Amino acid sequence: MRPVFFRSKFGLYNLPIFFPDATKAVVRTLDSRDIENAKISGILVNTYHLLKEPGERVIKKFGGVSNFMNWNKALVSDSGGFQIMTLVKKIPGNGHITDDGVIFKCLGSKEILLTPEESIRFQMNLGVDMVIVLDDITPQNVSYQEAKLTVNRTIDWAKRSKKEFVKLCRYKNFTEENRPYLIGVVQGGAFAELREECTQRLVEIGFDGLGYGGWTVGKLDNFNYEIARIISENSPINYFLFGLGIGKPHEIVALYDLGFRLFDCVLPTRDARHKRLYVYNAKSIDEINIKSENFYSYYIPDKEKHCADDQPVSLACDCLLCTNYSRAYIAHLFKIKDVSALRLATIHNLRFYSILTERLRINS
């Protein structure tokens, strides 16, 4: 069966887990206690951005990112692979990628060289519980041959990453019981054959799990569940399956049924800052039915009627916002552009996601 626990240096956590993106060692508008009080079990930090600022010297001084941000639960780092797409492939002149690694051109004359080995080394210094290997994201709408090149580079980088990871585990005297998990990333775009090949070749290298990497939408911008199925069916049953950058609540429910147990996404926190709050279509937490077709909706306080609504944002939520304030109050805070609106909305959306993982455990 798929793993049911996630081992952290702070203890064991029940799966599934949704990891909010704390890209720069912070979930925007919140502190670490806010995140914990939303009953979030873990967060994900970004290798590229932390390498850039505050940099390795500061991270090492604090003995890792957990001490730096005072976070005492599960912690995952990504590899910086997504930034290869967003900062280099999509922006001409912002850097270049080779088989050796990627060079990011930052402000001024500063450059950051990120190789598979450097990504692993920095992530190990972050002191995380799960390390993700550097991969070459397959762009959208490319030919089969172009996609094949990204798969081959991803596999080559995965081999180099695994070698560096094993070396560092020995150097740090890690055992199988206390070392971080290592996750490979499946690329290949919308080409099912390449996704299957990439999955199988990564399994041959040997990891603790695999991530659904790259773009997850297919034709007509619909989520590509078939690729998720291919990854699941070609992965050992004891592997973690990680929905990288996924997602939307109904996508998480569907991927959970396919064996995925780990998820991260910017959506709930980003949406909160843009006045989009997630609401279960239920009168209490116990009445939430995540198997129903329309089990959630959105509350967007942008109409005059919201300014006098004395009901909580959600009856099926026990977050700081819903247990203390009305829809009218959060609408007022957004209207006057007070920063507390962003904090309360973000706490609410994160509690929505932690309730989602709780319901998945109950229903499994």
Over residues 67-84, the pLDDT tens digits come to 999 999 999 999 988 888
Q: Which helix (H) or strand (E) holds 14?
A: strand 11-14
User: What are the CA-CA distances from residue 147 to residues 81, 113, 196, 245, 360 (Å)?
Assistant: 16, 23, 13, 20, 34
The CATH architecture assigned to 5-265 reads Alpha-Beta Barrel (3.20)
Specify whether the CB–CB gap between 243 and 260 falls below 8 A: yes
Q: What's residue 93's pLDDT?
A: 80
Exposure class string for 102-121: b at 16+ Cβ within 10 A, else e? bbbbeeeeeebebbbbbbbb
Catalytic residues: 78, 264
- Going by their DSSP bridges, the two strands 262-265 and 17-20 should be labelled as parallel
Mean confidence (pLDDT) of the chain: 95
In this prediction, residue 290 carries a pLDDT of 98
Confidence of residue 109 (pLDDT cuts 50, 70, 90): low
Q: How many CB atoms within 10 Å of residue 145?
A: 7
pLDDT tens for residues 309-323? 999 999 999 999 999
Instruction: Give the whole-angstrom CA distance, residue 16 versus residue 4.
Output: 8
CA pair distance 251, 74, nearest whole angstrom: 23
In the prediction, which pLDDT does 221 show?
67
pLDDT > 80? residue 108: no
Q: Which residue type does 271 have?
A: D
Name the more confident of 1 and 259: 259
Give the residue with greater pLDDT, 97 vs 219.
97
| Cα-based distances in Å from 290 to 173, 252, 253, 349 | 43, 10, 7, 16
Strands (E), 126-255: 130-132, 181-186, 209-212, 240-243
279, β-bridge pairs: 297
Domain with CATH 3.20.20.105 in the chain: 5-265
| pTM of the complete model | 0.96
pLDDT at 218: 67
Tell me how crowded residue 311 is: count the other CB atoms within 10 A of its CB: 10
Share of the chain above pLDDT 70, in %: 98
Reply yes or no on whether the pLDDT at 110 is more than 70.
yes
How many CB atoms sit inside 10 A of residue 361's CB? 12
* pLDDT value of residue 219: 62
The tokens 């007070």 sit on which residue?
338
Unique residue bearing structure tokens 């206690």: 33
**pLDDT tens by residue, 9-25:** 999 999 999 999 999 99
- Phi, psi for residue 138 in degrees, rounded to 5: -75, 120
pLDDT digits (tens, 9 = 90+) for 198-256: 999 999 999 999 999 998 876 656 899 999 999 999 999 999 999 999 999 999 999 99
- In tens, the pLDDT along 121-171 reads 999 999 999 999 999 999 988 999 999 999 999 999 999 999 999 999 999
